[in-house]
Structure 1
Amino acid sequence: MQPHPFRQPAERPTAPPEEQRLGALRSVHGQRRNAALFHVARGALLLLSTSVIGAVIAGSQGFLLSLPFGLAGFAVLAAAALRHRGLRIELYDRGLVVARREGREIAVFDEVDEVWFDLDRSSTPFGSFVFLRGVRLVEHSGAQRSVPVEVADGQEVARRILQRCSHPLLDEARRAVKDGEVLTFGPVRLDRQGIALRDTHVAWGDLSLVRLQSGRVAFFRGQTVFPWRTVSLDSVPHPTVFARLVTERAPRVERDDVWASWTG
């Protein structure tokens, strides 16, 4: 006689729907005011600067040659103003919903394996700027969720994601380094002795300076004017954990700007 199963297949509990796993609603973040004007203004600035430089270098012929490039850049940035029309981020205790005109996408924090920054870099003759455009979530299953933070109070959305998906990993990562393990962040490896960048391992004590800059971490050896290596914060998973581990091990650290508030 065959033993009875503990429960029939139909009686086995099933995972609750994702909507039920999100928890209580914390906040709703709609499209940022003047977002369209911001992107169009950036496009206009790029068009103007490109054309002016062309005119200064090669006169009217240079202006005509550079104009198509300026117009292309303007078109790209102006399109960004329309990309998030109707966008809404619903932030919950245990996840979030990205609502667009074409549908809704759900991300549960407990299912997130990796957090990546999506940075927007803009270079003009008047300076370079780096903006956090969004956060990309990679789940344990391999599925990816793109979360734009170009919404009202988008910093709160990004902070909540980092608080729930990245910050809990920091203590474990610290213990692993202390115990002699090697941690891999994309193309970068670090351990208790030092850090490996582009297959070159350097001891922490051999670094003269680590500087947190706009969207990147710069490493210096010997002198402190020209970086020996740089690591962009959108090239490594869990960039805030990476930056915190580096700054805790480096003998000297400088923080240039507001990005230090993200990376510790």
Structure 2
Amino acid sequence: MQPHPFRQPAERPAAPPEEQRLGELRSVHGQRRHAALFHAARGALLLMFTSIIGAVIAGWRGFSLSLPFGIAGFAVLAAAALRHRGLRIELYEHGLVVARREGCEAVVFDDVDEVWFDLDRSSTPFGRFIFLRAIRLVEHSGQRRTVPVEVADGQEVARWVLQRCSRPLLDEARRAVKEGGVLTFGQVRLDAEGIAIRELRIAWAELSLVRLQSGRVVFFRGQTVFPWRTVDLDSVPHPTVFARLVAERAPRMEHDEVWAAWTG
């Protein structure tokens, strides 16, 4: 069975300039008021934790060896805060504008072919946390755009992009699967009978549980303790469409409420 193209870019006549296609302004989202403080605090925590671990394991020698790594991590997080200085996201009916200190970049939703998550995986002494840092957009032309969501009410920015760029594809994807097509999401292929993750394939009926959690979809076979396979949501295009299709086919589904909201 030949793979069904997930989406065929439509042929369009010459379009007017992007600014004329954006439509009505909906909202403006500036940099979070305490964004720099948050990154600095997280960096300080990383620096402290790295140094303490080094000292516990190998005394002061370990402390001196681990300190540079902690400082490097702190510098990376501080740079992230500085990078977003002056950031502003303008949401429009048919697109958005990413405004930075060095200039503005407009994106029209009709030009977007693929949507990808950019996830921030952070490990701290209190556990592992995953945040949606940005949404990466790939246009039909191949042009790549990054939309940071680390702004005031960034969840609304992400939700609007997903609603306009990914949500309209869900019915098309459902129809393709129902008609016997195979949909390809990166290294994952799924159809009405089952799912293939890289080289291994399994029928939907053979799955004992599928769990949506912390930026990934976890598949269990025969038991619910050790995963059969895991798919990170930042490794597939249109991750919300992918997660929804899996949820509709899985015989048993569990989910983290926060991440279920992104796929809902």
TM-score (norm 2): 0.93
Q: In structure 2, how many angstroms separate the alpha carbons of the residues matched to 1:250 and 1:52?
A: 44
Matched residues in 1 for 2:15 and 2:232: separation?
38
Query: RMSD in angstroms over aligned alpha carbons?
Result: 1.1
Shift of 1:169: 0.4
Q: For residues 52-89 of structure 1, give each alpha carbon's deviation from its aligned partner in whole angstroms, at most 9, with x where no partner exists.
A: 11111112211111111111111101111101100110
Query: Which range is displaced more, 242-251 or 14-23?
Result: 14-23
Match of 1:258 in 2: 258
- Which residue does the alignment assign to 1:5? none
1:73-88 superposed matches below 5 A: 73-88=73-88
SS in 2 for 1:122: strand
Q: How does 1:158-173 map to 2 (within 5 A)?
A: 158-173=158-173
2: distance between equivalents of 1:191 and 1:147? 31
Which letter does structure 2 place at the counterpart of 1:79? Answer: A
Which letter does structure 2 place at the counterpart of 1:104? C
For 2:6, the equivalent position in structure 1 comes to: none
- Distance in 2, matches of 1:124 and 1:223, equals 30
Instruction: Point out which structure has higher relative CO (alpha carbons under 8 A, 6+ apart).
Output: 2
Whole-angstrom distance in 1 between the partners of 2:189 and 2:38: 38
SS at match of 2:150: coil
Does structure 2 retain, via aligned residues, the 8 Å contact 1:22–1:92?
yes
Deviation of 1:39 after TM superposition, in Å, equals 0.6
Matches of 2:168 and 2:15 in 1, distance apart? 24
Q: SS of the residue aligned with 1:212? A: strand
1:200 aligns with 2:212: no
Q: How many Å apart are 1:15 and its aligned residue?
A: 2.8
Measure, in 2, the Cα distance between the counterparts of 1:81 and 1:66: 23
Displacement of 1:179 in angstroms is: 1.0
Aligned to 2:244: 244
> Structure 2: which amino acid aligns with 1:218?
V
Greater CA radius of gyration, 1 or 2? 1
Three-state SS of the structure 1 residue aligned to 2:118 is strand
Matched to 1:163, the amino acid is Q
Superimposed CA distance per residue, residues 20-62 of structure 1 (whole angstroms, 9 cap, x where no aligned partner): 1000000010001100001111111111111111111112211
Contact 1:204 1:250 in 2 (8 A): yes
The residue type equivalent to 2:259 in the other structure is W
Counterpart of 1:168 in 2: which secondary structure?
helix
Deviations 1:185-223 (A, max 9, x none): 011000011100121010001111111111111111112
Runs of 4+, deviation exceeding 4 Å: none
Say if 1:214 and 1:257, in contact at 8 Å, map to a contact too: no
1:104 aligns to 2:104 (yes or no): yes
Q: Quick check: 1:60 aligned with 2:60?
A: yes
Aligned-pair CA distance for 1:125: 2.9
Structure 1 residue identity aligned to 2:162: L
Gaps of 5+ in 1: 1-12
The aligned amino acid for 2:90 is E
Q: What is the distance in 2 between the residues matched to 1:101 and 1:54?
A: 39
Deviation (angstroms), 1:14: 5.6
Report the 3-state secondary structure (helix = DSSP H, G, I; strand = E; otherwise coil) of the residue aligned with 1:259.
Answer: helix
Asked if structure 2 preserves the Cα contact closer than 8 Å seen for 1:47 and 1:73, the reply is yes
- Maintained 8 Å contact 1:211/1:253: yes
Work out whether 1:27 is the aligned partner of 2:34.
no
Which consecutive unaligned segments of at least 5 residues does structure 2 have?
A: 1-12
Quick one: distance in 2 between partners of 1:224 and 1:58? 39
Aligned residues: 252
Give the aligned partner of residue 92 of structure 1. Answer: 92
Q: Which amino acid is 2:24 matched to?
A: A
Q: Are residues 1:145 and 2:134 paired?
A: no
Is the contact between residue 43 and residue 78 of structure 1 (CA under 8 Å) also seen in structure 2?
A: yes
